[in-house]
Structure 1
Amino acid sequence: MIEPAQADPLVATMSAAIGGPRGRHAHGYVDWLPAGAVVLVLTTLTFAVGMLQKTSCATRGWDSGIRYTHLCASEVPGAYAAQGLDHPVLTTYWASVMAQLTRWIHDSTTMFVIVNGVGFALLAVLAAFLLTRVRPDRPWEIAAFAVSPALLLTGLVSWELLAVAAVAAALWAYSRGDLGLTGVAIGLGTAADVYPVALLVALLILSIRRRELGSWAIVTLVAGASWFILNVPAMLNRWDAWKGFWSQLIHHGAGAGSFWLLLQDSSGTSIAPATLNICAGIVLGALLVGILTLGVLAHREPTFAELGLLCVLAVVLVDKVYAPQYVLWLLPLAVLARPRWRDQLAWQGAEVLFFCATAWNLAGLMSSGDGPAAMYDITIAIRLCAEIGLGGAVVFSLLRPQTMTVSSNVVVV
């Protein structure tokens, strides 16, 4: 098993405080404390701290003004009283089950949040476990997921962890060569959120490189069937609500956190939804063609996680809205595709800054005389640059694999 200080230069440097990296003649691992188990414990602790961080809203009211100043705002409480959710079907099913369980335990909004929080924690631990199994020789790399500040702050904001667990399951299933289970996981993820469909593009690129389009067809057919089976009840029973979700995606204008909002604010113009759809489609198509070219011509074969991260990043960069919790879309892919603490800290630091700025902007604390929420726009730009930098690091590693050297069992990138 490869140790953290052998794989990551930053960890190797920091280990100097306790004597430096482990030498070649040192004894083996301590059997009673497996690295994977530590990762799961860390994930649990991180999520527990995240739930405690929301207690200000729980004690003073989820609709109170402090929900933004204290960074404890969440979409979950509002779903308890609502008759339905304007979300993908798996999210709606989950919320309905959690609501029934809440009424059985204690009929209150706070209990609904607690019940969902426990469920989300289990999903986070499941995702961490599956990610450690993708690369069982390097489980410590998933510590960047387990102790993620993004997970701590945004895990209880919405229902993103449903799709995160599904994406982790897809990565694990594909690492085992189980195409059917990979398709089921992607179908479940797409029924919880739209972005996991980008993983099919990543697999298509791998299939083209390997000349195995039949494998991609199997995954795609199973994913489509899984998504359809989950959506059929909603399509039959609540067609207008089901159609309304997809209609909203099409007719939505430039929303908070997006590149398009930044473009509008900087230019002083407004982009019509129809024009925005065309522009976003063209840019997304260009990015995906670039990723396809990279995946086919790269010096070494990209991993599923690397191509998946690049494809989801392309979606994130051109999306018409970017909420702070969307960082979770990237997290499981990023810790596998770029398991370097230097890159993780830089990217997640920018995401945390954007999370805080979004909340404080909604609280009216970031307005500026130079324009509407000018400081907020700056944090959007910082976050976009960090995301591009994360993707750029993956691209560079594919174009220049010779920059990876191994010396005394230490891998340096």
Structure 2
Amino acid sequence: MRTEARVRAGTMAAVVTACLFALVVAYLGKARCAGPPFAPDGRSLIFDRIKDSDVCYSDIQLLWLGRGLDLHLPPYSGGITPAGLLVPGTVEYPVLSGSLMWLGALGAHTDATFLLHSALLLAPFGLLTAWLLGRLAGRAALLWAASPPLLLYAFHNWELPVVAVAVAAIAVVTSRRWSVRTRGVLAAVLLGIGFCLKLYPGLFVLPLALFVLTAGGVRDRRDVRGALAVLGSAAATVVAINVPFAVADAAGWRASFTFQQQRQADITSNSIWYWGLRPLMGGGIRGSDAYHQVVGVVSPMLLCAALGLALWWGWKEFERRDVYPWIGVSGAMLCAFMLLHKVHSPQYTLWLLPFLVLQRVPWGLVGAYLAADLAVGIGIFRWFDALTRSGDTTTELVVRLGVWSQAALLLVFFCLLVRAPLRRAPAPPLPPKVTVPGRASDAHTRDLYAAAGTVRRPEPGPLE
């Protein structure tokens, strides 16, 4: 046991250390675009010159201007124009991300300082994610801590807090300390917080509620009150966090949602819609009005259908093995969102990585996805640079290859994740003698394995 504990401690130390090193390198990579000389508004003069060619662009540095961060305006104190442009004081992200942006801007008078402050705010969340994944999946957590996406996107946008919260919710449910209902409610609160950071963790509330409804895998038991408590806790958390901002400035708070609703699948979207549907409907590099209207209707319809399919597929798995695979269903729903939403930003890969760490997805497929991600994450900026300089089409072909490779692999992951077990179950091995499945004396053991998604439908016992 002591040897096992030392190995586990060594693994955890390696994962966290690798993550810390990656975060430092990630910051230095983005900081190449920041520094003196500065314009009077605090913008690094080098930023516009090399951000695409040297692949050091970040949304953090870009949004220093145009959102009131350089003026230190309170978050969500602006609005949106009829043309869809945000008024300084409003950002396009949910309120907790906007608050982090405002905190990063405190005391900053240049985009370089803002980038540094933001990196210091975000880095602990990246380390927390590494630590949690190390506890849940062991050495597989190095996929998070030492892979190219963390180097490219750790400080590209404000993704690290929302990933940490989503992983923390999974860690809570797979713990052994409380009942299924209590763990479900606590995880729902975390997912509600995640929704107020970047929205996507809100997708995971429904599969979590179904997991609690089925009592975490206890046969022939339905916890309706628990499922309702999960839904209510997530909703109450979102309301409690948003109400102060909505009361303080309703127009500024509402503007962030309006902006996202009006956002188009344009050249910055990296989505299958831009690369697939736009060329068919004309309109050049910007896309026609008809194209944007079709995407605005078809994208949410297909997305809702895919989310429903994932939930239904999870229920069929529950009927087969008495366990609702909420982690796998959540991962499949995320894949559907990344594939079918009108915008697919490169940093969304950070959202997906924890599911590839936690679940037994073939490493060859994971490697292929990382290669496609590199093609998009690097190629898209080199293509932007080529558009303004040489007009070279080679980088465009690289981006196309990356986009369609990612799309194909997201479809594969959608099919795999619902049924994939965890790489390492959080529960100890099954004891040699187990009482009748489904009875109170066996509920705790079954619950631990249910959280891991490893329970199969038991054969009828002699007393059933």
TM tier relative to shorter chain:
0.7 to 0.9
Aligned position for 1:203: 208
- SS in structure 1 at match of 2:64: helix
Measured in 2, the distance between the counterparts of 1:130 and 1:396 equals: 22
Deviation at 1:113, TM superposition (A): 0.8
TM-score (norm 2): 0.72
Residue among 87, 92, 101 paired with 2:98: 92
Equivalence for 1:233: 244
Contact 2:11 2:134 in 1 (8 A): no
The alignment status of 1:253 with 2:264, answered yes or no, reads: yes
My pick for the range that moved more, 117-126 or 360-369, is 360-369
What residue number does 2:149 align with?
150
* Alignment partner, residue 126 of structure 1: 128
Query: In 1, distance between residues paired with 2:313 and 2:92?
Result: 37
Measure the CA separation in 2 of the matches of 1:91 and 1:340.
33
Equivalent position of 2:60 in the other structure: 76
> Aligned equivalents of 1:150 and 1:328: distance in 2?
7
Aligned letter for 2:273?
A: W
**Cα gap change, 1:303/1:48 in structure 2, threshold over 3 Å: closer, same or farther?**
farther
- Report the more deviating stretch, 329-338 or 208-217: 208-217
CA contact (8 A) 1:154 1:325 kept: yes
Contact 1:128 1:142 in 2 (8 A): yes
Q: Counterpart of 2:337 in structure 1: which amino acid?
A: V
What is the one-letter code of the residue matched to 1:380? V
Structure 2 equivalent of residue 47 of structure 1: 23
In structure 2, relative to structure 1, the CA distance for the partners of 1:278 and 1:95 (3 Å cut) is same
**2:117 corresponds to which residue?**
115
**Structure 2 Cα separation of the partners of residues 392 and 180 of structure 1:** 28
Q: Is 2:282 the partner of 1:262?
A: no
Change in Cα spacing, 1:215 to 1:274, as seen in structure 2 (3 Å) is farther
Residue by residue, what CA displacement relative to the aligned partner does 1:169-219 show, whole Å, maximum 9, x if unpaired? 111122234223212211111001111111113224434655334323222
Does structure 2 retain, via aligned residues, the 8 Å contact 1:117–1:156? yes
* 2:416 corresponding residue in structure 1: 393
CA distance in 2, matches of 1:98, 1:252: 25
Instruction: Give the structure with the larger helix fraction.
Output: 1
Partner of 2:199: 194
Q: Per-residue deviation at 1:330?
A: 1.3
- How many residue pairs were aligned? 367
244, 247, 252: which one pairs with 2:255?
Answer: 244
- Asked if 2 retains the 8 angstrom alpha-carbon contact of 1:295 and 1:307, the reply is yes
Distance in 1 separating the partners of 2:8 and 2:195? 38
Q: Is the 8 A contact 2:213 2:224 kept in 1?
A: yes
Contact 1:74 1:157 in 2 (8 A): yes
Question: 374-383 vs 230-239, which deviates more?
Answer: 374-383
CA contact (8 A) 2:165 2:193 kept: yes
Highest Rg: 1 or 2?
A: 2
Q: Deviations over 1:249-280 (max 9, x none)?
A: 22223232112112223413444545323312
CA distance in 1, matches of 2:276, 2:162: 29
Q: Aligned partners of 1:128, 1:215: CA distance in 2, in Å?
A: 30
Distance 1:212 1:315, change over 3 A: farther
Structure 2 gaps, min length 5: 37-43, 69-88, 216-221, 283-287, 422-464
Identical residues among aligned pairs (%): 22
1:44 CA displacement: 0.7
What per-residue deviation string (whole Å, max 9, x for no partner) do you get for residues 4-23 of structure 1? Answer: xxxxxxxxxxxxxxxxxxxx
Q: Aligned runs of 1:7-406 on 2, under 5 Å?
A: 30=6, 33-59=9-35, 61=44, 63-81=47-65, 82-83=67-68, 84=89, 85-100=91-106, 102-103=107-108, 107-133=109-135, 135=136, 138-176=137-175, 177=180, 178-207=183-212, 211-255=222-266, 256-269=269-282, 270=288, 271-298=290-317, 299-300=320-321, 301=323, 303-338=325-360, 340-364=362-386, 373=396, 375-395=398-418, 397=420
Aligned residues of 1:144 and 1:335 also touching (Cα < 8 A):
yes
RMSD value over aligned CA atoms? 2.8
- C-alpha distance in 2, partners of 1:99/1:245? 19
- 1:376-401 alpha-carbon deviations (Å, 9 max, x no partner): 33321122112223333335647xxx
TM-score between both structures, scaled by the size of structure 1: 0.80
Q: Which amino acid aligns with 1:141?
A: A
